Amino acid sequence: MMTGRKTPQPRTPPMWARSPTVLFGAVILAAMTWASVSARDLGGEGLADACTSCHGLGGRSHGYIPSIAGVEKTVLLRQLKAFRLQPTQPTQATIMNRIARAYTDSELEALADYFSAAPRQ
């Protein structure tokens, strides 16, 4: 016997939720936004973590790669910006020109501040 009540129908998800491509794009965009905010908020010390594998902890290298701890800020900043402007050459031994391109001017300045304030060996 029918009582006149309708059986509840499942709700249809919004259009964006039905498209895996749109949903994936939204997740990637959110992750990129979070990552860029995090990089800005790291400061010199946080950004310097990426330099330790070659230049050593605190910029004090124990190998053939130069130590950058205690080098004057203007020298470091000038060199980092010069690396960023260099074209990549297949015969170059350094990868600094490719690395430096990933940083903004303010991030390079934060790195120069951090390493120039670090004590030399």
pLDDT computed for residue 9 by the predictor: 72
Tens of pLDDT along the chain (121 residues) come to: 556 677 767 777 666 556 666 556 666 666 666 555 544 567 889 999 999 999 999 999 998 899 999 999 999 999 999 998 887 666 666 789 889 999 999 999 999 999 999 998 7
Q: Which residues of 18-55 are buried (b: 16+ CB within 10 A; e: fewer)?
A: eeeeeeeeeeeeeeeeeeeeeeeeeebeebbeebeeeb
Alpha-carbon distance of 84 to 49, in angstroms, equals 19
pLDDT computed for residue 120 by the predictor: 87
Backbone angles phi, psi at 65, to 5 degrees: -80, 135
Domain limits, the chain: 31-117
Instruction: Assign a CATH topology to domain 31-117.
Output: Cytochrome Bc1 Complex; Chain D, domain 2 (1.10.760)
Residue type, 47: L
